[in-house]
Homo-oligomer: A and B are copies of this chain.
Amino acid sequence: MTALVQFQDASADIVTGAFDLKPADNCPKAPSVQAFVVNAADVASEGGTDPVFGTVTWKTLISGEKTNTSEFVLGIAEFGPGGTLHPHVHAPAEFYFGLTGSGIVTIDGVAHEIVPGVAIYIPGNAEHGTVAGPDGLRFAYGFAEAAFGQIEYRFSARVA
């Protein structure tokens, strides 16, 4: 837009004139929801250090703490041979979707095999734990929650 502007220039003279105005480049921009791409190969692994969890590591791909999203959480869990995610509960329902390897997902005491192409539905507050097979295991997991960090994980057993 064009506006009549009066300002002091560098030599303190008063300048008056018609100028085209545009927002300065450093103006804060309104947040907008944008499409984006995340390659798991570029995402750092988390976990693997707390024996309460087990040996599992994970990569968070879509989650409100790190992406401008609020609808769902998507991540990948990765296990070495015989790797573990110890039994735990959380309030939201979750899905697993097997990518590579194999494992046993035990939900409320019932064992289910996960292999590539297998989806598992875990109801909210169901106790579930995973033990990977001899070739390890990778699965995608997801929640209809805004952010992974808002989901409270409660493990069934404490490790001394």
**How many residues on chain A are close to B (CB under 8 Å)?**
43
Instruction: List, in ascending order, chain B residues with CB within 8 A of A108's CB.
Output: 35
Q: Does A23 contact B (CB under 8 A)?
A: no
Interface string of A106-118 (1 = CB under 8 A from B): 0110101111011
Q: Does A121 contact B (CB under 8 A)?
A: yes
Query: Is B117 touching A62 in the complex (CB atoms < 8 A)?
Result: no
Q: Does A74 contact B (CB under 8 A)?
A: yes
Which secondary structure dominates where chain A touches chain B? Answer: strand
Quote the shortest CB–CB distance from A96 to chain B (angstroms). Answer: 9
**A47-76 residues at the B interface, CB under 8 angstroms:** 61-62, 67, 69, 71-72, 74, 76
Bound Cα distance from A95 to B67, whole angstroms:
13
Bound Cα distance from A149 to B122, whole angstroms:
21
Q: List 10 A-B contacts (CB under 8 A).
A: A33-B123, A35-B120, A39-B117, A39-B119, A69-B121, A71-B124, A71-B144, A72-B143, A74-B97, A97-B97
- 8 interchain residue pairs of minimum CB distance: A144-B144, A35-B107, A40-B117, A61-B119, A33-B123, A71-B144, A71-B93, A72-B144
- Residues in chain A within 8 A of chain B (CB atoms): 33-41, 61-62, 67, 69, 71-72, 74, 76, 92-93, 95, 97, 99, 107-108, 110, 112-115, 117-124, 126, 128, 140, 142-144
